[in-house]
Amino acid sequence: MICTYFSYRDGLTQAYTLPYVRIIRNFIPSQFPVYLLTIEKEKLRLSEKELSKVRQELTAYGIYLVSLPYVSPGFSMIRWLPGLFRLILVSYSKRIDTLHGWCTPGGSIALFLSIITRKRLVLDSFEPHAEVMLETGTWPRNSIRFRILFSLEKIMARKSAAQICCTSSMLDYAREKYGCRLSRPMVKPACVSFELFNRFQKNKLISQQSLAFENKFVCIYAGKFGGLYLDDEFFDLIDTARSVIGDRFHLLLLSEESSDRIALQFKVRQIPLCVLTHLHVSHVDVPKWASLADFAVAPYKPVKSRRHAAPIKVSEYWALGLPTVITKGIADDSELVESKRLGSVILELNRVSYVSAINAVLELINIEGKENLAQRIISVAREIRSFAIAERVYRDLYAK
């Protein structure tokens, strides 16, 4: 049973979970079932018709969907008791012998089930979560949420039979923060589908709408603001990019953020809205739009614990051949941007660093040429972010 803390519609499920679940399924004999647990937020909930179709598609792969409604961490989680009881029954009745937790929030559910059922616990995408929430200012240090999740992370690290980490540095983090050596560590970065993230895969409608980008120098960002991501600083970066690049600059923003809120950020900085194209698109359509861009930005908050994470967004940008402007200290990605010339790194959150990073990525494009640079970045991405890496990890874990 694979336990996540994501909704099925969530981009993290579509891009960062399902592809791996299918790979895991391939290494497990067909007579053994694989269950996928999702936590459904109300705003992302599937209709009955959609749910029926999803179940049918997953069942064809030998994957069975189980869902619990999302509840805020705290005493309200008592509403999960009937659902957790159902998961325990499924674990016994279907003779499940492995609880595979995805990230530490999903890992917490898997840990609970493994303690009750005495089944093997495997941690996947194992990275700090509690300290990231603390360092980004999302949770205060004395909050119940932080203390509970950090304690659970320690228990997970000690009790798990295998740990699939996002970076090799997670081994040192576990020794320093959790006080233990991981028993069977493996490393799997954020891999990406090169079939889906193909820069030449544009449909007719998008090609027609892209005429508005002709003679523009397009910057793409696909994501959120706040939490793990920069907020005000992102718009300062965009304002700086506009001043450096000039009238040709255009921002392609693929985000569910409020248009009114974004317009307010533009107004404060006196950025005309004509330089913005703001769209809400499904994850499957992101590559079709992103392939129209000249470069991308990955505005993660540069907090210490993000060094051990695995941001899928950057892998997707690279798969499309986009040079990426990224903040410092993010997973292995910031170092790879520098060492393999895949974009530029923002060293400090100030205008001087923004100017330097924008100029560096412009220089890279000017020296190599847009298409030659794109092909080189794609070649590097295929080497370091292919699903073949994940296949080796899961084969070693499950094929025997």
Residue 80's pLDDT is 79
Mean pLDDT score across all residues of the chain: 92
Q: Going by CATH, does the domain composed of 204-384 fall within 3.30.300.130?
A: no
Q: What confidence tier does 134 reach under pLDDT thresholds 50, 70, 90?
A: very high
Which ranges in the chain are annotated with CATH 3.40.50.2000? 2-191+386-398, 204-384
Residue 122 CA from chain centroid, whole number: 20
Residue 106's pLDDT is 94
- Which residue from 11, 7, 6, 50 is spatially nearest to 286, judged by alpha carbons? 11
Cα→Cα distances 107→111, 139, 225, 243, 287, Å: 6, 19, 25, 45, 30
Task: Summarize pLDDT for 332-358 with one digit per residue, the tens.
Answer: 999 999 999 999 999 999 999 999 999
Q: What confidence tier does 225 reach under pLDDT thresholds 50, 70, 90?
A: very high
Residue type at position 307: R
User: The dihedral of CA 288, 292, 297, 299: what is its sign?
Assistant: negative
- How confident is the model over 139-143, as a mean pLDDT? 89
Residue 74's pLDDT is 60
- How confident is the model over 246-270, as a mean pLDDT? 94
Residue 29: CB atoms within 10 Å: 8
Q: What confidence tier does 246 reach under pLDDT thresholds 50, 70, 90?
A: very high
Share of the chain above pLDDT 90, in %: 79
Q: Which residue has the higher pLDDT, 214 or 210?
A: 214
- Is the pLDDT at 204 greater than 60? The verdict is no
Residue 117's pLDDT is 94
- Is the pLDDT at 398 greater than 70? The verdict is yes
Using H for helix, E for strand and C for coil, what is the string for the chain?
CEECCCCCCCHHHHHHCHHHHHHHHHCCCCCCCEEEEEEECHHHCCCHHHHHHHHHHHHHCCEEEEEEECCCCCHHHHHHHHHHHHHHHHHHHCCCCEEEEEHHHHHHHHHHHHHHHCCEEEEEEECCCHHHHHHCCCCCCCCHHHHHHHHHHHHHHHHCCEEEECCCCHHHHHHHHHCCCCCCEEECCCCCCCCCCCCCCCCHHHHHHHHHHCCCEEEEEECCCECCECCHHHHHHHHHHHHHHCCCEEEEEECCCCHHHHHHHHHHCCCCHHHEEEECCCHHHHHHHHCCCCEEEECECCCHHHHHCCCHHHHHHHHCCCCEEEECCCCCHHHHHHHCCCEEEECCCCHHHHHHHHHHHHHHHHHHCHHHHHHHHHHHHHHHCCHHHHHHHHHHHHCC
- How confident is the model over 50-64, as a mean pLDDT? 94
Q: Are strands 120-126 and 217-222 parallel, antiparallel or unpaired?
A: unpaired
Residue 337 CA from chain centroid, whole number: 18
d(CA 354, CA 238): 9
Residue 314's pLDDT is 96
d(CA 151, CA 398): 28
Lowest average pLDDT, out of 70-79, 113-122, 145-154, 294-303, goes to 70-79
Residue 75's pLDDT is 57
- Is the pLDDT at 50 greater than 80? The verdict is yes
Strand order in the sheet with 63-69: 63-69, 34-40, 2-3, 98-102, 120-126, 162-165, 185-187
Q: What confidence tier does 79 reach under pLDDT thresholds 50, 70, 90?
A: confident
Residue 11's pLDDT is 84
d(CA 36, CA 91): 12
CATH superfamily of 2-191+386-398: Glycogen Phosphorylase B; (3.40.50.2000)
- Which residue from 162, 159, 152, 95 is spatially nearest to 122, judged by alpha carbons? 162
- Is the pLDDT at 6 greater than 90? The verdict is yes
